[in-house]
Amino acid sequence: MTEPIRLSKRVAELKACSRREAEQFIAGGWVTVNGQVVEEPQARVSNELVEISPDASALTVQAVTLLLHKPPGAEAGLGHLPDTHSAAALLTPEHWDGDEGAGLRPLKKHFLDQVLLSPLAPRASGLVVFSQDWRIARKLREDAQLMEHEVIVEVSGTVQPGGVERLNRADHGFTLDGRPLGACKVSWQSETRLRFALKGERPGQIAFLCQAVGLTVEGMRRIRIGRVSMSRLAEGTWRYLLPGERF
């Protein structure tokens, strides 16, 4: 064979299947051309060696949720377009943490139409959620005011007497932009580090509360959203949401 044809047509011939099934084999990352995985059904082949994995499945590639450890300085705000300064730019196979616990390996389709569901200030670091799964998106949006976020905050300055205790009271009396702030759980982790656990976190809320009791935020790292923890995910890398994990 010397005349180039679509890869999907070649796979359909080799697998004795429909063109649609062939396209799903290819999109699922089960097909190699001269030993390299090719995920585009429209790719052209002629005399190249086309092989199909014996584990190949024609099931549609499932929607996935990606958990990223955002580094400081990367943008992760709603509506921010992906660019070199965007946290979304880190969603590539090269930044995968390599954990195969989810039973998945990076595919090009996994990075398409990912929606940011947990904005984080540029200077902050930590857990950020992207998803293609409408069920995850609905959960994080509808339960935003009930979802607890755990954040480690590096601070400087001298706290006011009873300041941390006041932050823990439901009647602390603090308001932001004219709206009262809900209760939060705050505790010292070290002489310069606080742990915040709060529901319905609002942009600037933690910095405002710290300032209100005499402290200045020097760094912030979100480590948990709901029941999902960032765990040992290294800064600048991402992993798949595991099948048993629930927000």
pLDDT higher than threshold 70 for residue 79? no
Each residue of 85-112: pLDDT tens digit?
789 999 999 999 998 888 888 999 999 9
Grade residue 1 by pLDDT with cuts at 50, 70 and 90. low
Identify whether residues 135 and 235 lie together within a single domain: yes
Q: Is residue 192 part of a domain?
A: yes
Amino acid found at 25: F
Q: What percent of the chain has pLDDT over 70?
A: 96
Q: What is the CATH number of the domain that holds 160?
A: 3.30.70.1560
Same-domain check for residues 134 and 236: yes
Q: Are residues 130 and 92 in the same domain?
A: yes
- Mean pLDDT confidence for 213-235: 95
Percent of the chain with pLDDT over 90: 71
Residues 71, 124: one domain?
A: yes
Q: Are residues 181 and 133 in the same domain?
A: no
Residues 10 and 106 in one domain: no
Strand-pair category, 215-225 with 125-131? parallel
Question: What's this model's pTM, rounded to 2 decimal places?
Answer: 0.83
What is the rounded distance in angstroms from the CA atom of residue 247 to the CA atom of residue 118?
12
Domain that holds residue 41: 5-52
pLDDT: is 183 or 191 the higher one? 191
The answer to whether residues 152 and 140 belong to one domain is: no
The tally of domains found in the chain comes to 3
Q: How many C-alpha atoms does 104 have within 13 Å on its Cβ side?
A: 22
- Residue 22 has a pLDDT of 94
Crossing angle of the two packed helices 19-27 and 7-15, in degrees rounded to 10: 110
Looking at the domain assignment, is residue 35 inside a domain? yes
Which tokens sit at 173? 């009396």
Q: What's 17-64 look like in SS3? A: CCHHHHHHHHHCCCEEECCEECCCCCCEECCCCEEECCCCCCCCCCCC
The CATH number that applies at residue 109 is 3.30.70.580
123 in the same domain as 235: yes
Q: Are residues 137 and 82 in the same domain?
A: yes
Residue position matching structure tokens 């995850």 = 136
* Gyration radius (Cα) of the chain, Å: 23
For residue 58, is it within any domain? no
3-state SS, 137-174, equals HHHHHHCCCCCEEEEEEEEEECCCCCHHHHHCCCCCCC
